[in-house]
Amino acid sequence: MSQTQGPKKRDNQDFDWKSRFSRFFRSAEDEIKKTTAIGKKMLSASRTNTNLHDCYEKLGIMVETAVKNKTLTWEDPKVNGILKEIEDLKKELSQYEDDLQNIKSQK
């Protein structure tokens, strides 16, 4: 009788080991996918942040020049365009942050 139980016990142990390994592998795979998604979002956010910085720089240069020339007017289409782009980039950065938080909170 112990001979018939021996192979069954070994089969159960093999199955248990395989099951644990499979769960571990799935968990690692999920973490890699999550990390990759976070990395992609962070790269996109970095690009957007650079564009936002460039817009602030353009706006600052324009304001400085206009102040020096005493021609500062907020009706300037270039200023309004840059302000609109700044607003859009801020919204985009906010969306990246929301996306990152969602990815991080996934299990």
Give domain limits for the chain: 2-105
- The confidence score (pLDDT) of residue 33 equals 93
- The confidence score (pLDDT) of residue 7 equals 63
Longest CA pairwise span in the chain (Å)? 102
Give the residue ranges of the chain where pLDDT is below 70: 1-9, 107
pTM: 0.60
Tell me the per-residue pLDDT of 90-101, one tens digit each, with 9 for 90 and over: 999 999 999 999
What would you report as the CA-atom Rg of the chain, rounded to the nearest whole angstrom?
28
- The confidence score (pLDDT) of residue 6 equals 58
